[in-house]
């Protein structure tokens, strides 16, 4: 009599741990290499990731598939960072640290620009895929900060993304880090202005100087000073 082994519920078996690590290593190396040289050979990526070319092609059948997955992978890391920061830091600190993470992503995306243009020529390519996770992360951060009273109420994700739009034009100049810091100081100072949970003196922009009070005249109205 033939014995039937019952199938376990729960869907398909999980990806083997070594295969998952290989895939993540390929993506990490591809991000670094494509940032520096959009024309880098896939064989170079495979070698630096410590895998054979067969392993690379099993995960990514062609160059375009790898480039798009690198983009999706990096965007997802930015999204996941928002959740992690909100779980481990106060909302206002989480927002600022997330902006720093976004700046690092923007640098990588600038380096990937040429490769992305090549990979997104096909009409069916989801070139705007990355916008959804970024917008979702912004929604989470703004909601948490509004509940905590650390930003002014009513700020929408569109407002926020428009405010930081300059980030995508800074590029990789030598002073890029300082320019990003100044941009984010302006944005976060603006968000704190009028926040119900932030005292007025703390909401004052960084480095702002309080204007001196005008001297009050001690003379009675209508009298001229000697």
pLDDT band at 191 (very low <50, low <70, confident <90, very high): very high
| pLDDT tens per residue across span 22-45 | 999 999 999 888 878 878 999 999
A 10 A CB-CB count for 53 gives 12
pLDDT at 38: 78
- Tokens representing 155 are 């700020």
Rounded distance between C-alpha atoms, residue 112 and residue 116, angstroms: 6
CB neighbours of residue 145 within 10 Å: 24
In angstroms, the CA 176 to CA 159 distance is 23
pLDDT at site 87: 97
pLDDT in tens, 100-153: 888 877 766 666 655 555 555 554 444 444 568 888 999 999 999 999 999 999
Question: To the nearest whole number, what is the mean pLDDT of the chain?
Answer: 78
Phi and psi torsions of 71, nearest 5°: -60, -45
Q: What is the pLDDT of residue 220?
A: 47
Say how far apart CA 142 and CA 135 lie, in whole Å. Answer: 10
In the prediction, which pLDDT does 172 show? 65
CA 155 to chain centre: 18
The pTM of the full predicted model, rounded to 2 decimals, is: 0.66
Q: What is the pLDDT of residue 51?
A: 95
HEC string of the chain? Answer: CCCCCCCCCCCCCCCCHHHHHHHHHHHHHHHHHHHHCCCCCHHHHHHHHCCCHHHHHHHCCCHHHHHHHHHHHHHHHHHHHHHHHHHHCCHHHHHHHHHHHHHHHHHHHHHCHHHHHHHCCCCCCCCCCCHHHHHHHHHHHHHHHHHHCCCCCCCCHHHHHHHCCCHHHHCCCCCHHHHHHHHHHHHHHHHHCCCCCCCHHHHCCCCCCCCCCCCCCCCCCCCCCC
The per-residue pLDDT for 32 is 87
């Amino acid at each position: 009599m033939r014995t039937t082994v019952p199938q376990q519920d729960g869907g398909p078996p999980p990806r083997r741990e070594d295969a998952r690590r290989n895939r993540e290593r390929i993506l990490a190396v591809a991000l670094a290499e494509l940032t520096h040289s959009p024309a880098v050979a896939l064989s170079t990526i495979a070698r630096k990731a410590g895998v054979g070319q067969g392993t690379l092609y099993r995960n990514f059948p062609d160059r375009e598939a790898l480039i798009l997955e690198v983009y999706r992978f990096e965007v997802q890391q930015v999204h996941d960072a928002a959740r992690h920061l909100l779980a481990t830091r106060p909302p206002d600190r989480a927002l600022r640290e997330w902006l720093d993470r976004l700046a690092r992503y923007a640098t990588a995306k600038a380096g990937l620009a040429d490769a992305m243009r090549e990979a997104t020529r096909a009409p069916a390519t989801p070139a705007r895929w990355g916008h959804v996770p970024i917008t979702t992360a912004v929604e989470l951060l703004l909601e948490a900060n509004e509940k905590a009273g650390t930003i002014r109420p009513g700020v929408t994700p569109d407002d926020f993304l428009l405010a930081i739009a300059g980030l995508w034009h800074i590029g990789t100049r030598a002073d890029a880090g300082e320019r990003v810091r100044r941009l984010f100081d302006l944005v976060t100072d603006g968000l704190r202005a009028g926040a119900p949970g932030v005292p007025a003196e703390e909401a004052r922009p960084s480095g702002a100087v309080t204007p001196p009070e005008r001297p009050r005249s001690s003379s009675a109205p209508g009298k001229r000073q000697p």
